[in-house]
Structure 1
Amino acid sequence: MRDNRTFKIVLAVACFAAAALNAYRYAEGDRDTMNIVLGVLFLLAGIMYVYRLRKGI
């Protein structure tokens, strides 16, 4: 199977953008628990993709 480095980069950027959007919603006053949960999950997914890019997995 070939390496999908570009796809991993796009996914990492998308995850960090989604986490930032949830953080922005929280900062604007939408104090929903789901914004916190989704923000943390997207942040962890973005970190995972960056880790996989750095390790070459």
Structure 2
Amino acid sequence: MRDNRTFKIILAIACFGAAGLNAYRYAQGDEDIMNIVLGVLFLLAGLMYVYRLRKGI
């Protein structure tokens, strides 16, 4: 099976970008619980991809 390192890097950047966008919306005053939940989920997904990149999985 091929190593999809580039794909994992793109997904990690996209997850961190989405988490940052949700944090920005929350900071602007759109205090919706969904922004917090989605921000945390995207942050965890980004960390998972970084972990997988570091471990070589």
Shorter-chain TM band: over 0.9
Alignment match, 1:21: 21
4+ residue runs of structure 1 moved beyond 4 angstroms? Answer: none
Alignment match, 1:45: 45
3-state SS of paired residue (1:31)? coil
Cα deviation for residue 43 of structure 1 reads: 0.0
Q: Percentage identity across aligned positions?
A: 86
| Whole-Å separation in 2 of the counterparts to 1:13 and 1:38 | 15
Cα deviation for residue 5 of structure 1 reads: 0.1
5+ residue gaps, structure 1, are none
| Whole-Å separation in 1 of the counterparts to 2:56 and 2:37 | 28
The amino acid across from 1:27 in the alignment is: A
TM-score by length of 2: 0.99
Cα deviation for residue 35 of structure 1 reads: 0.0
5+ residue gaps, structure 2, are none
Cα deviation for residue 11 of structure 1 reads: 0.1
Taking only aligned residues, the RMSD between alpha carbons, in angstroms, comes to 0.2
Aligned pairs, how many?
57
